[in-house]
Amino acid sequence: MADTENFPSHLPQPTSHLPQPTRHGMPSPQKQLTEMSASATNSRTTMPPPTANGHKRQGSNLPESATKRPTLSDRAGQPLKSAPAAPKSNAPVSAAVSSTLHTRYPSSISSRSNSIFSRSTSSASSTSSSFSASVGSRLQPPTSMNYGRPKAALAKDRGRAIDSRPATSMGTRGGGIQDGPNNKRMAPSAPMNKLSSAPRRNDIATAHKMNSRIAQTVARTSGVLKEAQCISSTASISAQMSALTLSPPRERRHASPSKSPPLPPHPVTPSSFTPAPFPSYNSSSPRKNKARQFLTKSSNLETWDPEEQYGNMERMYQDVCKHYKDAMEESNEAKQASSTYKDTIASLEEDRKLTTEAMIELRCELQTTKYRLEAAERSAQDIKREFEQEIDDLKRDHRIEMENVRQSQRKDIDQAKADHRDELRELRNRYEDELESERSQRLQAVSQVSGQVALDKQRHQLDLELKDQQIRSINMEIERLLADVEREKTLNADLRQTLSAAGTNASHMEAARQALQAKIDYLESDNKSQSEAYADMERKMNQAIERATECEEKLRKEEMLRRKLHNQVQELKGNIRVFCRVRPSGSDASEEMAQISFPETDDDPKDIEVRGQEEANSLGKDTTKIHPFSFDRVFDPSCSNAEIFEEISQLIQSALDGYNVCIFAYGQTGAGKTYTMSSDDGMIPQALRQIYSTSKELATRGWTYQMEGSFVEVYNEELRDLLGKDGESEKSGKKHEIRHDMVNLDTTITDVNTLSLDSQEQVEGILAQAMSRRSVAATKANERSSRSHSVFILRLKGQNSITGKKCKGTLNLVDLAGSERLSHSKAEGARLKETQAINKSLSCLGDVIGALGQQQSGFNPRDSVNGSSAGSGGHIPYRNSKLTHLLQLSLGGNSKTLMFVMVAPEKKCLSETITSLKFADKVSRTRIGVARKTTTGR
Ligand SMILES: Nc1ncnc2c1ncn2[C@@H]1O[C@H](COP(=O)(O)OP(=O)(O)OP(=O)(O)O)[C@@H](O)[C@H]1O
């Protein structure tokens, strides 16, 4: 087995058909004999015979004879002409046995031969030949490299080769060598198993206990021993084989394996081994000259040629003998090595025993030391515990002692502190008493002095305060009078005279005041004369007050006169007045401007001229038309909101006087309507500021005002409350309705929040809220274009506590949405709808104004409610849009109405500008009714 491993790996391993050697080298002789006998009888039918040239024939590869050959059955009927010669005394191998050996185990024999003898360099060539003869030319014998090893190396290699497998595995392998010729499993040889495995186990156990060097040595020794045993066993088997060949063939052929007695082992020693001479064969066999014979008539298998077979057998026998001899020599050497290793093992065993004893002693010592150490540790623990207890006791004692000392010290300190406190208290009491008595003495003295001073001072102070108050009131009165005078001066000449008189009066009073002041000074310096001066001053004061009252009365009368005159002037001017304002150019410098001029350069410009687009006349010449317009007032781009407000402040005053006032801004989108009406200094905030300041002034003349405001927008022909909570009207789903009270000439909107405006700050907050809620959107002309008409309605209710007069006015401030041409704006979707609604309502406004113009005479506002005029009977289409419906009373003649027409200066807006101006011109030419005051009382 080991030798098969030496074959080159690229070659197929030779398969053995011989009974495989067990670990002892060969199967038991008894079994071998049995099998050999059986095979001798069966071999002719089961195995093909070797060929004549000595090569192995294999199965169907055997060449078939072309000629007809006699079969065995044929030959059975024939008399045996030349039987093989009877074996001689040394019993040569019979032809049957020989052929059986070659047919059944050719490769096995050869292989085995190789395994046993391949290490002999001298027999390399013969091995090779026998190998090729037995296994065929396809397989090469082991190379000569394996042969020339030194003996020691050989022994070592073998030892390693065998010893590298564990003992049990060896046993298994030995037992499992396997399939014999008839696929019979070969049982391992039990004694040999015992022999080999037992020492091996011992060796391995020893090797594990001892060091690795000892283990290696033992392993090597064991390997050598096994090799030697193997060789000796092989030798015995060979001897048996030799003995087997000596037995008479006829007897063996018929002898039953079970009945035949076991053959005694052949006493072969390597040194005394002499191979028996191979039996000679009768070469004059008649078969030699005979024609070729066949197994059966129909078979083309030739019958065996015994002569040729015999020759082969003889050669093989020679080879086997030679190899056997070599093996014997190797075996001897191995035995010698074995005895040497045995000695070494014995001495090592001795060493191991000594070492084990020493180890046991040391272990005992270690154990003892451990016990001692543990005892020492225990005692150390006890001592430590004792010490710890002692330390704890000491600590406790120390703590108690410390506590005692601390307590005694604390007591001492407390005692010392108490003493010290008492001492301090005593001292403090003593000093405080002394201090108190001293202080009281001094205070008495001081209070006597200061009482006197304070009394004097108080008296003077009171006098002074009284006089200051009088002076203040006189001053206030003078200021008020001066303010009144100042205001009246600007109204009319009579008032100026009165005011100058008041001024003179005031100067007298001032002189009197100065005199009084001098007297006060004098009085201050001289207490005695003070009372006289005071009485004089009081008298003069009363005179002044009387005169002031007279002046006030006079002023009131003048005020009434002024109002009357103012309203007369307003009526003369007409109830709808039109102001025109041109916006400055925008930030885009590249924008081309329209040619707009203002011919009048005085303080009160009323005219404006706009140069129209260039047009070709009938002669083909380019001409431009100039459009002149005239309004109540024209404001050029340089005018500020403050300047414009000055012009309308009289109208705001009219609202306080009990008139309905309506101011609205009209113009194309982006022309400046929202800027004029609702910016921080726009008309709406300024109007409110004026109303507050004037109402305060009028309060001095007995007027008190109640103000209520609401803010709505007309968006897409629907009213929206800008002062309501977010989404309130959408949630409630209520629609606001416009109602006109024609008795009181009052307009109300249902479900609209009306807030009482108590302070100017509140009003401005409300305005900001309303402005933020307005519907705005970016359009082509304006980034924040108003998409609705916004209307701020301020109701003013005044009452004069002196005269008992009552008045009720309404101020409507309207910021209209911008007119816009759809073709220009190219609005879509929501924007388109908005633009359509805006344009429609503005066109309705134009219609209403037009209708009002036609019925100038005989206006009755009550008729206007029904959309008709008593004078002309013409229909006024107020209800055609929410905007005109809402402004019905403002437009219908009952109110003072001011329209701002806003103009954009850009050329691109020119046509729209001209349209707006034409509309404004139409409005300014309209004369509608007479505004009436809603006052009651005297
Ligand atoms: N007198 C002015 N001085 C300076 N800037 C102005 C003046 N008038 C208008 N503007 C500016 O022009 C722009 C358009 O003005 P505004 O929004 O008042 O136009 P509008 O007529 O109200 O437009 P819409 O009808 O689309 O609401 C704004 O940026 C505004 O500040």
Look up residue 938 and give its two tokens: 């005297």
Most confident range, picked from 91-100, 388-397, 428-437, 486-495: 388-397
Looking at residue 359, what is its pLDDT?
A: 94
Give distance in angstroms: CA of 637 to centre of ligand 1.
Answer: 12
Nearest alpha carbon, ligand 1 atom 9: 672
Segment 256-307, tens digit of pLDDT: 444 444 444 444 454 556 666 666 655 554 444 556 666 676 767 767 677 8
- For the segment 485-512, the average pLDDT, to the nearest whole number, is 77
Reported confidence tier of residue 786, pLDDT bands at 50, 70, 90? confident
Counting from 1 in the atom list of ligand 1, the atom nearest the Cα of 665 is 21
Which stretch of 289-293, 361-365, 750-754, 925-929 has the lowest confidence by average pLDDT?
Answer: 289-293
Segment 216-234, tens digit of pLDDT: 544 554 554 455 454 444 4
Q: Is 904 in the pocket of ligand 1 (CB under 6 A)?
A: no
Segment 381-418, tens digit of pLDDT: 999 999 999 999 999 999 999 999 999 999 999 999 99
CA separation for the pair 696, 758 (Å, rounded): 12
Segment 517-549, tens digit of pLDDT: 887 777 677 766 677 778 888 888 888 888 888
Nearest alpha carbon, ligand 1 atom 11: 672
Look up residue 333 and give its two tokens: 């050497």
Looking at residue 108, what is its pLDDT?
A: 40
Asked whether residue 353 carries a pLDDT value surpassing 90, the answer given is: yes
Give distance in angstroms: CA of 606 to centre of ligand 1.
Answer: 22
Reported confidence tier of residue 771, pLDDT bands at 50, 70, 90? confident
Q: Is 831 in the pocket of ligand 1 (CB under 6 A)?
A: no
Looking at residue 37, what is its pLDDT?
A: 40
- For the segment 742-753, the average pLDDT, to the nearest whole number, is 84
Establish if 303 belongs to a structural domain: no
CA separation for the pair 247, 24 (Å, rounded): 24
Q: Is 817 in the pocket of ligand 1 (CB under 6 A)?
A: yes
| CA distances (Å), origin 889, targets 54, 160, 659, 896 | 148, 133, 11, 10
Segment 435-450, tens digit of pLDDT: 998 988 888 888 888 8
Decide if 796 contacts 706 (C-beta within 8 A).
yes
DSSP symbol at 179: B
- Indicate the top mutation candidate among 664, 683, 782 to test ligand 1's pocket, ranked by most ligand atoms within 8 A of CB: 782
Q: Is 818 in the pocket of ligand 1 (CB under 6 A)?
A: yes
Look up residue 567 and give its two tokens: 């309203």
Give Cα 749 distance to the centre of its chain.
Answer: 55
Q: Is 881 in the pocket of ligand 1 (CB under 6 A)?
A: no
Q: Which residues pair with 756 in a beta bridge?
A: 708
- For the segment 727-755, the average pLDDT, to the nearest whole number, is 79
Nearest alpha carbon, ligand 1 atom 10: 672
Q: Is 677 in the pocket of ligand 1 (CB under 6 A)?
A: no
Backbone torsions φ then ψ of 750, nearest 5 degrees = -70, 145
Buried b / exposed e along 274-286 (16+ C-beta atoms within 10 A) = eeeebbebeeebe
Decide if 219 contacts 64 (C-beta within 8 A).
no
Give distance in angstroms: CA of 674 to centre of ligand 1.
Answer: 6
Give distance in angstroms: CA of 824 to centre of ligand 1.
Answer: 18
Counting from 1 in the atom list of ligand 1, the atom nearest the Cα of 817 is 25
Q: What number of other Cβ atoms are within 10 A of residue 302's Cβ? A: 21
Q: Is 673 in the pocket of ligand 1 (CB under 6 A)?
A: yes
Q: Is 669 in the pocket of ligand 1 (CB under 6 A)?
A: yes
Establish if 668 belongs to a structural domain: yes
Segment 116-129, tens digit of pLDDT: 334 433 333 333 34
Decide if 348 contacts 214 (C-beta within 8 A).
yes
Counting from 1 in the atom list of ligand 1, the atom nearest the Cα of 782 is 26
CA separation for the pair 583, 674 (Å, rounded): 12
Establish if 77 belongs to a structural domain: no
Instruction: Give residue for tokens 């007695």.
Output: 261
Helix axes 212-246, 29-46, angle to 10 degrees: 60
Q: Is 682 in the pocket of ligand 1 (CB under 6 A)?
A: no
Asked whether residue 884 carries a pLDDT value surpassing 80, the answer given is: yes
Counting from 1 in the atom list of ligand 1, the atom nearest the Cα of 675 is 18
Looking at residue 280, what is its pLDDT?
A: 63
Give distance in angstroms: CA of 499 to centre of ligand 1.
Answer: 43
> Does the complex come out with an ipTM higher than 0.95?
yes
Give Cα 609 distance to the centre of its chain.
Answer: 68
Counting from 1 in the atom list of ligand 1, the atom nearest the Cα of 641 is 1
- For the segment 890-911, the average pLDDT, to the nearest whole number, is 85
Looking at residue 60, what is its pLDDT?
A: 39
Q: Which residues pair with 331 in a beta bridge?
A: none
Q: Is 724 in the pocket of ligand 1 (CB under 6 A)?
A: no
Looking at residue 254, what is its pLDDT?
A: 42
Q: Is 230 in the pocket of ligand 1 (CB under 6 A)?
A: no
Average pLDDT, the chain: 70
| CA distances (Å), origin 763, targets 734, 767, 854 | 26, 6, 39
Give distance in angstroms: CA of 671 to centre of ligand 1.
Answer: 5
Establish if 685 belongs to a structural domain: yes
CA separation for the pair 897, 13 (Å, rounded): 131
Give distance in angstroms: CA of 614 to centre of ligand 1.
Answer: 27
Q: Which residues pair with 629 in a beta bridge?
A: 608
Asked whether residue 371 carries a pLDDT value surpassing 60, the answer given is: yes
Reported confidence tier of residue 817, pLDDT bands at 50, 70, 90? confident
Decide if 270 contacts 332 (C-beta within 8 A).
yes
- For the segment 84-100, the average pLDDT, to the nearest whole number, is 41
- For the segment 431-436, the average pLDDT, to the nearest whole number, is 90
Helix axes 306-489, 124-135, angle to 10 degrees: 80
Looking at residue 934, what is its pLDDT?
A: 64
Decide if 40 contacts 100 (C-beta within 8 A).
yes
Asked whether residue 31 carries a pLDDT value surpassing 70, the answer given is: no
Sign, CA torsion 362/366/368/369: positive
Asked whether residue 175 carries a pLDDT value surpassing 70, the answer given is: no
Look up residue 396 and give its two tokens: 């406790």
Counting from 1 in the atom list of ligand 1, the atom nearest the Cα of 815 is 22
Give distance in angstroms: CA of 669 to centre of ligand 1.
Answer: 8
CA separation for the pair 29, 239 (Å, rounded): 10
Establish if 43 belongs to a structural domain: no
Q: Is 584 in the pocket of ligand 1 (CB under 6 A)?
A: yes
Give distance in angstroms: CA of 361 to centre of ligand 1.
Answer: 119
Q: Is 774 in the pocket of ligand 1 (CB under 6 A)?
A: no
Look up residue 576 and give its two tokens: 């709808």
Looking at residue 689, what is its pLDDT?
A: 87
Q: Is 583 in the pocket of ligand 1 (CB under 6 A)?
A: yes
Counting from 1 in the atom list of ligand 1, the atom nearest the Cα of 785 is 26
CA separation for the pair 320, 326 (Å, rounded): 10
Give distance in angstroms: CA of 829 to centre of ligand 1.
Answer: 24
| Residue range(s) defining the domain that contains residue 799 | 576-614+623-822+829-856+875-925
End-to-end Cα, the chain, rounded Å? 152
The number of distinct structural domains making up the chain is 1
Establish if 464 belongs to a structural domain: no
Q: Is 785 in the pocket of ligand 1 (CB under 6 A)?
A: yes
Asked whether residue 178 carries a pLDDT value surpassing 50, the answer given is: no
Position with higher pLDDT, 497 vs 13 = 497
Looking at residue 345, what is its pLDDT?
A: 94
Looking at residue 591, what is its pLDDT?
A: 81
Looking at residue 731, what is its pLDDT?
A: 62
Give distance in angstroms: CA of 670 to centre of ligand 1.
Answer: 5
Q: Is 667 in the pocket of ligand 1 (CB under 6 A)?
A: yes
Nearest alpha carbon, ligand 1 atom 8: 672
Reported confidence tier of residue 640, pLDDT bands at 50, 70, 90? very high
DSSP code string of 137-153: TTSPPPPGGGT---HHH
Q: Is 114 in the pocket of ligand 1 (CB under 6 A)?
A: no
Give distance in angstroms: CA of 784 to centre of ligand 1.
Answer: 9
Give distance in angstroms: CA of 919 to centre of ligand 1.
Answer: 20
Looking at residue 342, what is its pLDDT?
A: 93
Q: Is 668 in the pocket of ligand 1 (CB under 6 A)?
A: no
Looking at residue 880, what is its pLDDT?
A: 92
Establish if 916 belongs to a structural domain: yes
Give distance in angstroms: CA of 850 to centre of ligand 1.
Answer: 28
- Indicate the top mutation candidate among 579, 581, 666, 674 to test ligand 1's pocket, ranked by most ligand atoms within 8 A of CB: 674
Looking at residue 378, what is its pLDDT?
A: 94
For the chain, helix (H) and strand (E) counts, in that order, are: 25, 17
Strands (DSSP E) contained in 669-784 are: 703-715, 718-721, 738-741, 746-749, 755-756, 776-777
Q: Is 757 in the pocket of ligand 1 (CB under 6 A)?
A: no
Establish if 135 belongs to a structural domain: no
SS3 of residue 801 by DSSP: coil
DSSP symbol at 28: -
Q: Is 335 in the pocket of ligand 1 (CB under 6 A)?
A: no
Looking at residue 382, what is its pLDDT?
A: 94
DSSP code string of 343-389: HHHHHHHHHHHHHHHHHHHHHHHHHHHHHHHHHHHHHHHHHHHHHHH
Q: Is 670 in the pocket of ligand 1 (CB under 6 A)?
A: yes
Counting from 1 in the atom list of ligand 1, the atom nearest the Cα of 677 is 18
Segment 544-598, tens digit of pLDDT: 888 888 888 888 788 777 767 766 666 666 668 899 999 998 877 788 888 998 8
Segment 710-725, tens digit of pLDDT: 888 888 888 888 887 7
DSSP code string of 686-706: HHHHHHHHHHHHHHTTTEEEE
Q: Is 36 in the pocket of ligand 1 (CB under 6 A)?
A: no
Nearest alpha carbon, ligand 1 atom 15: 672
Q: Is 482 exposed, middle or buried (0-12, 13-18, 19+ CB in 10 A)?
A: middle
Q: Is 387 exposed, middle or buried (0-12, 13-18, 19+ CB in 10 A)?
A: exposed
- Indicate the top mutation candidate among 580, 645, 675 to test ligand 1's pocket, ranked by most ligand atoms within 8 A of CB: 675
Nearest alpha carbon, ligand 1 atom 2: 583
Decide if 738 contacts 749 (C-beta within 8 A).
yes
Q: Is 383 exposed, middle or buried (0-12, 13-18, 19+ CB in 10 A)?
A: exposed
Instruction: Return binding residues.
Output: 667-674
Instruction: Return binding residues for ATP.
Output: 667-674
CA separation for the pair 923, 331 (Å, rounded): 150
DSSP symbol at 879: G
Reported confidence tier of residue 774, pLDDT bands at 50, 70, 90? confident
Q: Is the pTM of this model over 0.80?
A: no
CA separation for the pair 460, 483 (Å, rounded): 34
Give distance in angstroms: CA of 817 to centre of ligand 1.
Answer: 12
Asked whether residue 14 carries a pLDDT value surpassing 50, the answer given is: no
Reported confidence tier of residue 800, pLDDT bands at 50, 70, 90? confident
Give distance in angstroms: CA of 683 to centre of ligand 1.
Answer: 14
